Structure 1
Amino acid sequence: MTKRGWVWIAAGVIVVAAALLWNARRGAHHSTHARELPPVQAETMTVRRIPMESFSVSDGTIRPLQEATLSPKIMSSVVAVMVREGDRVRRGQELVRLEAADLQAGVEQAGAALSAASASAEAASSAARMEQEAAEADIRSATAAVQEARAYLQMVQTGPRRQERAQANIAVEQAKAQYDLAHSEAERMRALFRQDVVSKQRLEQAETAEAVAKAALESARQQADMVAEGSRAEELKAARERLAQAEARLAAAKSRRLAAEMRRKEAVAAAGQARQARAGLTGAKTMAGYSVIRAPFDGVVTQRLVDPGDQVGPGSPVLVLEDRSRWQIEAFVPEAEATALKPGDRALVRIDSLGGDEREACISEIRPGGDPSTRTVRVKADIRDTSRLASGLFGRLLVPRGVRSVVAVPENAILDREGMARIWVVGKDGRAELRVVTLGETRDGMTAILSGLKDGEKVAITNLDAIQEGVKIQEAAR
């Protein structure tokens, strides 16, 4: 064997000897100490397994459901900040005002341009409409005149028809019959007048009727002669000139309609310019509106980052706002447990800084992908009871895993010494033994013991500070 091997053997022997000596002294000390200390009265209980709901626990952070860091959309200087940290604000409330003289001038300029463009568009539209209506009326009138002139020319070129000549002859015959009757009556009246049978007035009436009938006969004969004679060259010439004038008038009306169409297109272009001017005014007002930063929701100002006179620009934060009416916890849950979760599942949130207060929660969001470095998934849960919560508090997300049988003791039976959980276990000989245990969940005043204690063992639950290692425990009546 080498020299190094002998050294290791000697060291091992020394360690074993030191351990045996320390245990012997400790046993002697306890025996002597136990004999010296009087018994201690304390209530005890025999540990039993009980059903208890178990949870998987993941560390997380309390955050508001809505949180916004406000920043301007334009480069400008701060004129006024109307809020301080801690102020409650309403949605739409003015928070920060920026210098906007140049933007306001742009609004006025755009407004003037819109007024001018709108006036031009209205005038162009009215003119185009009036010209279009006049052109259409001229076309209708000229078209009717052309149709009438064509019909007249056709009639003149064709001459009188047989029916017209027949009607003219019939008119002559009728007029001749009327005249013969009137003439006979007048002759009879003249004879009677000579015999003093009728008055002169009656004679004059008959002679007047005779003269009228004679004139009507002459007119009918002249009309019949004209129908029989046909159209003359002068009439044909006049009819053709009339048609040419009507066609020229129609062509002029159509040309005016083309001009009216051009006016209409100009009116459309003017209306487009008015729309562009209106859009320019809207854009100018929008830019001017950026000079005022408003609250996007009801909340509390948690950070004020600028003061009047500061120069700010797009992306530079000026205020931080929180909606404190709704809160959630954001925790990182192991992948194996996160896969079983879905939105709407029940959960609990424990907040150590509020005395371990546990509150009902509901899973609201599960990030699809996990963190490959930690093998965890970010999970968010909405907290129902929002009293006394603050942004950034440390919390624990408790996800139910079902009910199981566990060894449990009352909370008041657990001591916290040197950062470790300990319990006074009463042995079969009635003496106390301080034992280190691993704690689980606490429900209804009972804490699960994961290791360090067995079912059926007896523990002290009162007067714990008076108990020492090895002392005799006298069970006190409850």
Structure 2
Amino acid sequence: MEKKMKGIRMIMFTTMALLIGGGAYALASYGETNRIEATSTSQPTAYVEATNMNVSFKMGGRISEIYVKEGDRVKKGQLLARLESKELQDKAAQAQAALSAAEAGVEQAQAAVSAAEAKKAQGQSSVDVTAETVERQVAQAQAAVKAAQAHVNALKNGARKEEREQAQIKVNATKEAYRLAEDNYNRMKTLLEQGAVPQAKVDEAELNYQKAKAEYEAAQKQYEMVQNGPRKEEIQAAEAQLEQAKAAVALAEAGKGQITLRQEDVHAAEAGISQAASSVSSANANVSKARAALNEAKTYIGYTELRAPADGIITSQSAQLGELVGAGFPVFTLEVTKDRWAKFYFPETELDGLKVGDVINMKLISTGKTVKGKITVIQPAADFAIQKPSQNTGDTDVRSFGVKVTFTDLPDHTATGMTIQWQNKGEK
């Protein structure tokens, strides 16, 4: 009997436990359904979120300077910290010295090119002048030879008939002029004795008389030379002049050899230009090499500077002054404040009418201030956010979607992590 009573009590307890559990499950299911419905039909909340970035050096080293601290607002490109860089600075100085030396080498090589070009131009000018001078000298000497030869031939051939007749005519003319001058002189003297003319007229007549007499005597001498022909000494002198002229031609012809010498100087200058140009190319290559070394050193020096990759707030610092850090070690964590957002979750049954680009009105719970944002992403939430159907026939799964809203007028002083509440769609 006692065993029977114990069995009855066990059944009763089990039945009561099942009833209580079923009731609790039903209540929980009802509460969860009401919570989801309340969320979907009320105004959901989310948090102000921002991108966090790890800020690290591109190379390892010991931190020598830190310019910011946690909580500081920084601008993109702002210097945050620096590594020791003495060795790199020394290498940069060496590279700069090498670059300066290479550039000086280029200047020297270019100066050598200019000097060689000037020498070539001078040589070419000398060739042109020498050639022109020699040709002119040869032509002059040949003309002198022809003139001397003609003179010799004329002397040897004697005067021509025409020249003898001309000489005779000149003698007759000067003789008549002499006679007239003599008659006039005698008449003037007679008139002077009679007091008819002054002494000046007599002097003038005497001067004309003496002049006519000299011309007549010279004409006679010339006529005699024409008649008698040149003396032997004159022919010999003329022949000597002819030989001298021929020697001048030979000397002028020999001067053409100077042109060849000047041309060789020009060729030597051209070779010097080629050599100097090669030196310029080599010097330019040295400059490029030195500049590349300097740029490399400057690049590595730039790696010793840690700069903010974006505008934001330093939220944490993981390394201290004097600490040795490796490349990629997160020295600071930067919260990017330029683009902040909130992500709201909705069941798919409430997404109708929402699309990317819609303007949304929201409220900061802490201040009650209304802010605006724009929907940038709508994407399905994780599987655990799917609302499963109850045992009622005809129910289906209800999936949740995350709606990301990027703020367009969120005050800068708003702290990331504050609660934001969905209000309604606004006007674009």
TM-score by length of 2: 0.57
- Correspondent of 2:85 among 89, 93, 100: 100
- Correspondent of 1:63 among 41, 45, 49: 49
2:408 corresponds to: 383
Q: Deviations over 1:210-259 (max 9, x none)?
A: 89xx9xxx9xx99xx99xx9998656644543333213312430331232
1:309-458 paired onto structure 2 within 5 Å? 309-324=322-337, 327-329=340-342, 341-342=355-356, 344-349=357-362, 354=366, 358-363=370-375, 365-366=376-377, 379-386=404-411, 388-393=413-418, 395=420, 400=425
1:263 corresponds to: 276
Which structure shows the higher strand fraction? 1
> Structure 1 residue 393: deviation in Å?
4.4
1:68-147 paired onto structure 2 within 5 Å? 68-146=53-131
Q: Find the aligned partners of 2:423 and 2:179 in 1 and give their Cα distance.
A: 143
Q: Deviations over 1:141-183 (max 9, x none)?
A: 314533664677689899999xxx9xxx9xx99xx999x9899
1:429 corresponds to: none
1:221-240 paired onto structure 2 within 5 Å? 234=247, 237-240=250-253
CA contact (8 A) 1:63 1:329 kept: yes
- Correspondent of 2:206 among 188, 198, 202: 198
RMSD of equivalent CA atoms: 5.6
Percent of pairs identical after alignment? 23
Q: Deviations over 1:435-471 (max 9, x none)?
A: xxxxxxxxxxxxxxxxxxxxxxxxxxxxxxxxxxxxx
Change (3 A) 1:131 1:71: same
Change (3 A) 1:203 1:324: same
Q: Find the aligned partners of 1:334 and 1:156 in 2 and give their Cα distance.
A: 120
Q: Find the aligned partners of 2:58 and 2:76 in 1 and give their Cα distance.
A: 19
Which structure shows the higher helix fraction? 2
Where 1:74 maps in the other structure, the secondary structure is coil
CA contact (8 A) 2:339 2:406 kept: no
CA contact (8 A) 2:181 2:208 kept: no
2:256 corresponds to: 243
Q: Find the aligned partners of 1:186 and 1:56 in 2 and give their Cα distance.
A: 156
Q: Deviations over 1:306-361 (max 9, x none)?
A: 1012221221111123354653335678899599734x43123455x537765211
- Correspondent of 1:292 among 262, 284, 305: 305
> Match for 1:63: what amino acid?
E
TM-score by length of 1: 0.52
1:10-21 paired onto structure 2 within 5 Å? none
> Match for 2:415: what amino acid?
A
Where 1:302 maps in the other structure, the secondary structure is strand
Change (3 A) 1:135 1:366: farther
Q: 296-305 or 186-195: which moved more?
A: 186-195
Q: Find the aligned partners of 1:113 and 1:384 in 2 and give their Cα distance.
A: 55
Where 1:362 maps in the other structure, the secondary structure is strand
> Structure 1 residue 113: deviation in Å?
1.0
1:425 corresponds to: none
> Structure 1 residue 72: deviation in Å?
0.7
CA contact (8 A) 1:117 1:274 kept: yes
Q: Which one has a bigger Cα radius of gyration?
A: 2
Change (3 A) 1:253 1:277: same
Change (3 A) 1:60 1:143: farther
CA contact (8 A) 1:56 1:401 kept: no
Aligned length: 330
Change (3 A) 1:142 1:114: same
